[in-house]
Each structure stands twice: as structure tokens, then as C-alpha cells.
Chain A
Amino acid sequence: MPRDDFQQSLADLRAEVLSMGDLVADRLDRALTALQTVDEAAARAVIEGDDAVDRRYLELESTCIQLIAQQQPVAGDLRVVVASFKILTDLERVADLAVNLAQYTLEADRQRFEQVDLSTIGDLAGEMFDDAMTAYRTDDAALCREVAARDDELDSLCQRSSERVVRELIEGEAGGDDAWTVERLLDDVSRLLLIVRDLERVGDHAVNVAARTLYMIESDPELV
């Protein structure tokens, strides 16, 4: 029956989005671990695996477009499709950010600025992402709001870390005298600041997922 098929398609779409969410969470986790353990092979695997995420993204985007065109969903069905459609974009971006982390592992000199605790920032962002996907899986409106509330904590942690790097740079403690060292240092600092910003962006995407999920569950645009 076409209507039953449509309901099955909606269930399949959600399952596929969750599966892509698992894949992205795994990439993020591997990238963070690679960074902590300076595991270049693992970092390269994350980078090389990104094409698969992109392919998955395009497939699921196409599924959403087909459902809209052929089934013209309304009400709760419509909200599932459009929320999933938006969430897919966030998943793809988080995977891109995992690639950035992996690149950083390959290129950065982690001996410097060791005191910047990327692990804690990464764990916090990763947990937000995992919880947002759990909210999507379980229709948990309270968890959506809770994920969004946690973003301030992540933002301030990232801001403190960035300030610390800049302050140390100004104070010259981490610096060197010759031109080569200065250039290398600038490179490292820029990369580090970008990585902090990327992790903060992972949190933002987690909030986006929570916001679209809340819209899907309650038609509430509060977090959007």
C-alpha cells in the first residue's frame, strides 16, 4: 500500500540519518583520539574516509527530495522530512570538521601549547553531538533543550583557550628569535586557533541538530 510504504520510507529515512550520525560520530571520535595519541595513520584514515560521508550525504539528500516531490508530506510527516534534510547538512559539516582535526594532527607541533586542553573541548563537543543524535532517535525534547544549554559552556571554554594562546604569544614565552621559528610558530598558532574554533563549530552543529529535532517533535522553532 502506498501510504504504508511512505510511512516505511519515513522510518527508513530516520534510520539512515541515524546511521550517518553514527558514522560521523565515529569519525569525530577517531580524529580526536588521533590528535591525542598523535596517530598519523588514524588521522589519514579519517581524511580518506570523508568521500564516503559526502556520498552518503548526497544519497540521503536525494531521498528527502524524492519524498517531498512524490509524497508531498504535511504536518508531522513534513516535519520529519524537513528536519532530517537540515540535520543531514550538519552531519556532513561535522565530518568536514573531523577532517580538519585530522589534518591538524598531521601538521601541527603539539609540543607547543600543550596546556591548551583540546581533549576536554573535543569531548564536550562530541558529547553534545552524540546527545543531539540521541534526541533525534528518541524524540526527546528535553534533551534537545539541554544540548542547546550546554553550548555556552563549550563557547566559553573555547574562548578561554584561544585567549590563553594569544596571551602566551604576546608574552613571548612560546616564541623564538630566528625568522624560521617565528614563521613556524605563527603557523602553529593559526592552526591551533582554527582547531579550537572548529570544535566550537561542532557544538554549534550539535545545537542545530537539537533545534531541528525539537521542531520535528513539537513544531517548536525555539532553538532554530
Chain B
Amino acid sequence: MSDSQQTQTQNRTRTETTGNDQPLETTSGETVEEARAEWTEYDFRGNAKMVAEDLDVYYGDDHALKGVSMEIPEESVTALIGPSGCGKSTYLRCLNRMNDRISAARVDGSVQFDGKEIYQDGINLVELRKRVGMVFQSPNPFPKSIRDNISYGPRKHGDIDTGLLARLLGRDDSDAERKLVERALKQAALWDEVHDRLDDNALGLSGGQQQRLCIARCLSVDPEVILMDEPASALDPIATAKIEDLIDDLSEEYTVVIVTHNMQQAARISDQTAVFLTGGELVEYDETDKIFENPESQRVEDYITGKFG
């Protein structure tokens, strides 16, 4: 464990001015400095897996995320909540540099993963996104077999080899592939439902099954962090319950960060909750119990009780 990780057991959350002389105005008309008075220190147990410091994101002239500093504890579930356009998905995408794919996006500040800066030249993005995987709102399996959906990633990364050449050269990893597919599908609580039809097209699965397949696909490359952007918002209550159970299981081994619009879902499944409010500010970050029983910030109280806006 690095020294920086050791020191990260004392954590705090804050947003800051972005270097301009004029203090930023928040949506409620107070300055960020004034708003800071409502933020609380949040000390979590364990180590920080990811640390964002003074993170600003701009889409062209739009300042989408304002000076967010926030640490993600390892092997736990961190929920990001807030109204549409508050910057929570933008923040999530910063954690594996998915914003790089948006040409108008500019990111200032720092994000560390296991103490290593990910916003530096020479970082291997393929490796980063393998270790910090992502699951999206709409299930997006490849139009391939269930088996191939799982083994595609490991094959691309060179972790398994089942091609003709591999067979000719005696390096056929078919057995390893079978095991990997089974492990990933079991971890994603899908194995029992699909084990007898692994060669069927994944698009024939139900929405909930497709989403669990996408989670299995993400798990197949051995990630350490799983980012989820509203993974259950397109699912019915039963499929949602399965995804929530799965997230709970995964948090024993993985660090999960989830964006959700469903406040009850955040309350049910997360260990800590970060509330972003319109304008790209992180307003409060604390244990989930605290946020939903007695938040420090009146604006957060107004938001979660539905009195906001």
C-alpha cells in the first residue's frame, strides 16, 4: 500500500473556486465559499481507491463540474445522486477518462487511482478502462453469443487465446475460456438462467438479463472498480432487485460507484452517498444513513425530500 493511500483514511469533501478571482456563484445565489460552510467532513473506514481533487470539467463554455474533491473508498458502494445536469455522470466518466471521448470536454484537476494520477500523459487508457470498468444505463451487449460477449474482452486483452493459430501452436485456452465465462456469469447471477444456451445470441435475452450480461462482461476482465450509470433505470422492479442484490455482492470484492436517479435505490444499496446539485457542485458527501436521515445541508434536505426546484 502506498503512502498516499495510507494518508487517505482521513478524508474530506469540498468544492472550491476554480482559480478565478471572482468566487463562483452557486445556483442558490450563495458563493461557493459560503456554501462550503454547510459541507461536512466525511471520514470513512478503510482506504481510498480513487481520489478526485479540484476536478473541473468544461463542455465548451459550459462549466459542468466545479472543483469537486471526493474520495471513493475501496470495496464499497458509493452512490452519486442529484438532479439532471448536476454533473454526477460527468464526474463518473472522469473516473476512467470516458470524457476523453467527448471532443468538447476539457478536464482540469486530478484523479488518482490507487495513488496513481490517471490524467497524465502516457497513461494506458485500455488498461485503465479494464481496471475501472463501466456499465451503462441501457444494456448494450454485443450482437454476438452470450459466450462471446464474455470472452471478447479477455481475448482482446490477450488473456485467453482460442483461435485457429492458438490451436495449431498448442496454446488453445478453450478450457480457460469456459471457466472464465462460467465465473463471470456466476458472479453476475446469470449463470443459472443461461448456462444451457451460451451460444444463443445475447440480444435474445430480456433487458434485465442483458444488463447482468453487461456486468458479467465488465467482470470478465478482472476490474477493480465498476462504474455504473443508472444501471437499473430501464428495468422492471424484479430485474432491478436482481441488479441491486448483485451490486451488494460485488461490493465485497470490488469498488462500485453508481449514478442513480432513484433515491430509494441509493438509500438501499450504497454505503456512502454524494449529492451533486445543479451547477456541477458536490454539496454533501457522507454515509448514506446520514444523508437520508439527517443531511447537514438544507439544499440537500430540500432535494431529497422533493422540495427542490
Contact = CB atoms under 8 A, between A and B. Distances in A.
Contacts of B294: 75-76, 79, 219
A78 B293 contact: yes
Contacts of B267: 74
A6 B307 CA distance: 10
B264 A6 contact: no
Interface string A75-92: 111110000000000000
A74 B292 contact: yes
A75 B305 contact: yes
Interface in B262-309: 263-264, 267, 292-295, 301, 304-307
Contacts of B307: 3, 7
A214 to B, nearest CB: 13
Q: How many interface residues does chain A have, given as a range?
A: 10 to 19
Interface in A1-35: 3, 6-7
A37 interface: no
A72 interface: yes
A75 B306 contact: no
Nearest to B263: A74
B264 A72 contact: yes
A75 B295 contact: yes
A2 to B, nearest CB: 9
Query: Chain B interface: which size bin?
Result: 10 to 19
A75 B292 contact: yes
A79 B294 CA distance: 9
A175 interface: no
Nearest to B307: A3
B305 A76 contact: yes
Interface in B240-267: 263-264, 267
A75 B264 contact: no
A24 B304 CA distance: 35
Nearest to B290: A219
Interface in A22-73: 72-73
A3 B305 CA distance: 9
Contacts of B301: 75-76
Given A74-B263, A74-B267, A75-B301, A6 B292 contact: no
Contacts of A74: 263, 267, 292-293, 304-305
Q: Which residue among B264, B292, B295, B306 has the maximum number of chain A CB atoms within 10 Å of its CB?
A: B306
A73 B267 CA distance: 12
A73 B264 CA distance: 10
For the complex of A and B, 3 pairs with smallest distance between CB atoms: A219-B294, A74-B292, A3-B306
19 contacts: A3-B306, A74-B263, A74-B267, A74-B293, A75-B292, A75-B293, A75-B294, A75-B295, A75-B301, A75-B304, A75-B305, A76-B305, A77-B305, A78-B292, A78-B293, A79-B293, A79-B294, A219-B293, A219-B294
Given A7-B307, A75-B293, 14 more contacts: A73-B305, A74-B263, A74-B267, A74-B293, A75-B292, A75-B294, A75-B295, A76-B301, A76-B305, A77-B305, A78-B292, A78-B293, A79-B293, A79-B294
